[in-house]
A and B are shown apart, each in its own frame.
Chain A
Amino acid sequence: MMKRASLGLALLLSTAALPAAAADLVLYDALDFAGHVAEAFTKATGVTVDVVEPGSTGETLGKIAAEGDNPQFDILWVDGSAVFERLMADGAVQAIPADVANAAKFNDLGKALMPASMAFIPTGASTTAIEINTTKVAEADYPKSWADLTKFAGAVAAKDPNLSGPAYQWLAGFFQTNGIDAGKALLAEVLTNKELSGLGSGGKINKAVLTGDAKVGINQDSSIIAKQVAGEPVVAVYPSEGSVALPAGLGIGAKSQHMEAVAKFIAFVTSPEGQAAMQDGEDTDFFFIPVIEGVKPKAERPAMTFITLDDKAASEHEAEWKQWYKDSFVPM
């Protein structure tokens, strides 16, 4: 009797330890500030959010891919624009309702980033720059363009686009500015050290550049600026070919049953309050380029030329280009 009672008690206890009912919204993300913003959102509106962070952008998208035509998220918040086109084509996200999108007060960059397909709504942006260790490379030798990277062949750190959303955005933009065949040839000349060209995250690029394993790196500019602000000897140089702006995009799950709460979340993120929450931290993603009218960036950047990515081409070639990169530059 005693034993049975204690067994029952143990069962009860462990059941109690399980979290209670699911929240109002399910958010999949791979952004540093998402959890913080969700918390602020819940505080402001009372709407609860389950924040699911499976890992990198790649891993998050992998989870969504495995979920197939039965996506479990209400909101997806990751870096990238092409990827949303693809998700829309696969039926994983639905178009942002016009009234929701129109309610946001975008600045010029924001307006430019808003896709015609309405596959996502931009909440901020970043771009890819060349990261330079100022103690290892003299200022006169700074590369000014992607083409200049040939001077650093074998000492360039780069991210695997298969693991990083921003890295794919960069690869697609790079092919757009430098041409696909010429671009492939250039990369083949530059990325000759597989130990440096298949890294998994911006943090690893920073580490490679800071330790001197690599002289320069191809990295998300917010990641470089975060290190710079932290006092590390690095600087971001924007290539003369022009930079593809990488929006942090927010998409709506194709099967979402909570459109009202989703609209509230989008309204909050594009409000000054939500934007403040997005800047309230020291990690990479907090250093984004604002796309909302009147929001000041957390750190100033040098002037750069933005080009607009051909999302359609980027989305169409995604599998092919990623595979090419993997086969060419990723060890294993």
Chain B
Amino acid sequence: MKNSLMNKIVIVDYGLGNIRSIKHKLEKYNYTVSLSNKANEIESADLLILPGVGNFKVGMENIQNLDLITCLNNAVLKKKKPIIGICLGMQLMTSYSEEGDCAGLNWVNARTKKFFFEDSKLKIPNVGWRTNELLKPNNYFNQIPKDKYFYFTHSYYVDCKEKEDVIAQSYYGNKFTSVFQKDNIFGVQFHPEKSHLNGFRLLLNFMEKNL
């Protein structure tokens, strides 16, 4: 169902992330999207997007300083609003990150770890187009051909502790969780808004299935 004026999509603006890009692209598809760091707007959203590019510790500090932890917990854990975390946004949903030795939002039983390779032929950050292997069927990947690559750019990766939360994995030196889902919480390490139209289809599917 296309979004009507009744449906509110809110991109959480905590100072990190390519939010304009996501907003404009969704608006081209007739969605009404706002950027916000206000508690009442976040709690009353119908769908949330947690973007993010940058430093985990800085991200968590910004969220704390903006006093967003309570309203995010309310919206996501209590009211079960659908939320998609992208890249750093996905990592913030975990319990802890080695980047800054810092606690996360702790919504998903997972930790964020630094890539490290003995054989330093593999450079860090992991930048580029990588495979995304679906480990179980997932509606958000409808109409996306299986062999499509997605764009990743990160120095830290998510290590999911609960197998049932892992939807897809990617590979860079080692396998790592590229997509997790726990109830209304959905996280992707890659950038769907930067992975060609197939990638954007994922975002559109997330909108369509939740609104």
> A and B: real partners?
no
The chain B residues found within 8 Å of chain A, CB to CB, are: none
The chain A residues found within 8 Å of chain B, CB to CB, are: none
